[in-house]
């Protein structure tokens, strides 16, 4: 019988293969020095528990801990902006952006329906990706922006061609974003011209 030593295989993948294909972009903040002091160490350990228990597990569809709601309320919601009454935990930045756009679309359509539930025509037509169930909405993005590499986010990501190549995408508009020169006080005329040109592009 052919057997695989998974421990050796994982070590090999971790030390050799993955290091060869690792992207140049960091995937997360990295602490290169030790944490000074017992209080700081304890706080770091507590935050790691929050990240693992409150973010990673539930966002992947696994069973959250029994005090999940209380944990979110005492951590993320404790520092939420004024007026924010809820939060949705997602897997990563890309899925967070995906969910944000979906929430915006849902809210926009709900307002158009004056709060009424979707009609049978809405429900039937969306299954064939036709109006009115699949509305003709769009998102304006800016050149140079990186919002993620999931299929939906690639429609508004405009950073590198290799990220978008060969994938179908929504035919959504794109505009230039002002590229200021610094110091600001020495480049006021140039920066004002940048503003005017970019605003003109998005004037419908």
Q: What value does the mean pLDDT take over residues 186-196? A: 97
Instruction: Output 93 or 28, whichever has higher pLDDT.
Output: 93
Band (pLDDT 50/70/90 cuts) for residue 204 is low
pLDDT at residue 6 greater than cutoff 60: no
Band (pLDDT 50/70/90 cuts) for residue 23 is very low
Q: What are residue 175's DSSP bridge partners?
A: 142
Return the structure tokens found at 97.
Answer: 């952006």
pLDDT at residue 131 greater than cutoff 60: yes
Return the structure tokens found at 46.
Answer: 């507590």
Report how far residue 73's alpha carbon sits from residue 65's, in angstroms, rounded to the nearest whole number.
Answer: 14
Average pLDDT taken over every residue of the chain:
83
Band (pLDDT 50/70/90 cuts) for residue 46 is confident
Query: Do 197 and 176 touch, CB atoms closer than 8 A?
Result: yes
Query: Could you tell me the pTM of the whole model?
Result: 0.67
Q: What's the gap between Cα 171 and its chain centre?
A: 20
Q: How many CB atoms lie within 10 A of CB 184?
A: 9
pLDDT at residue 8 greater than cutoff 50: no
Query: Do 194 and 143 touch, CB atoms closer than 8 A?
Result: no
| Cα 140 to Cα 95, 108, 136, 145, 168, distances in angstroms | 18, 15, 13, 11, 17
pLDDT in tens, 63-85: 777 788 888 888 889 899 999 99
Band (pLDDT 50/70/90 cuts) for residue 30 is low
Give the three-state DSSP class for 172: coil
């Amino acid at each position: 019988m052919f057997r695989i030593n998974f421990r050796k295989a994982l070590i090999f993948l971790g030390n050799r293969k993955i290091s060869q294909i690792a992207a140049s972009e960091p995937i997360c903040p990295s602490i290169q020095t030790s944490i000074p002091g017992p209080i700081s160490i304890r706080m770091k350990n507590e935050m790691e528990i929050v990240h693992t228990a409150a973010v990673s597990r539930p966002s992947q569809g696994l069973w959250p801990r029994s005090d999940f709601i209380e944990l979110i309320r005492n951590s993320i919601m404790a520092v939420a902006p004024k007026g924010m009454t809820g939060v949705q935990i997602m897997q990563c930045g890309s899925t967070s952006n995906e969910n944000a756009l979906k929430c915006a679309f849902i809210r926009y359509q709900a307002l158009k329906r004056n709060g009424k539930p979707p009609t049978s025509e809405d429900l039937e037509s969306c299954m064939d990706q036709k109006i009115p169930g699949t509305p003709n909405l769009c998102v304006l993005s800016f050149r140079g922006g990186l919002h993620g590499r999931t299929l939906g986010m690639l429609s508004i990501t405009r950073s590198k061609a290799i990220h978008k190549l060969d994938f179908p995408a929504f035919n959504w508009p794109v505009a230039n974003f002002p590229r200021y020169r610094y110091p600001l006080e020495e480049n006021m005329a140039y920066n004002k011209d940048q503003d005017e040109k970019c605003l003109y592009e998005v004037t419908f």
